[in-house]
Amino acid sequence: MTETRRQIRAHVHANAGIHFNELVRESSFAPGQIQYHVRRLIDDGELVRGEFYGRTHYYPPEYDERERAMLAVFRRETARGIVVHLIEHEPTGPSGVADALEIARSTLEYHLERLVERGVVEKTYDERNRVVLRLANRERTAALLSTVEPTVPDRLLDRFTRLVDDLLEGGPGSG
Residue 174 included in any domain: no
Residue 175 included in any domain: no
Q: Which of 43, 63, 83 is a domain's end point?
A: 63
pLDDT digits (tens, 9 = 90+) for 117-146: 888 999 999 999 999 999 998 888 888 887
pLDDT at 13 over 90: yes
Number of domains in the chain: 2
Q: Are residues 54 and 124 in the same domain?
A: no
Give the CATH number, domain containing residue 80.
1.10.10.10
Q: What is the pLDDT of residue 38?
A: 97
pLDDT at 27 over 60: yes
Q: Give the Cα separation of 138 and 125 in Å (integer).
A: 19
Could you give the angle at the alpha carbon of 55 between the alpha carbons of 28 and 49, nearest 5°?
Answer: 75
Segments forming the whole domain that contains residue 57: 3-63
Q: Are residues 29 and 107 in the same domain?
A: no
Which range is least confidently modeled, 21-30, 34-43, 151-160? 151-160
Residue 48 included in any domain: yes
pLDDT digits (tens, 9 = 90+) for 56-80: 999 999 999 989 988 888 888 888 8
Q: What is the pLDDT of residue 148?
A: 74
pLDDT grade for 4, boundaries at 50, 70 and 90: very high
Q: What is the pLDDT of residue 174?
A: 46
Q: What is the pLDDT of residue 137?
A: 86
Q: 128-162: b or e for each residue (b if 16 or more CB lie within 10 Å)?
A: eeeeebebeeeeebeebbeebebbeebbeebeebb
Q: Which residue has the higher pLDDT, 50 or 90?
A: 50
Q: What is the pLDDT of residue 175?
A: 45
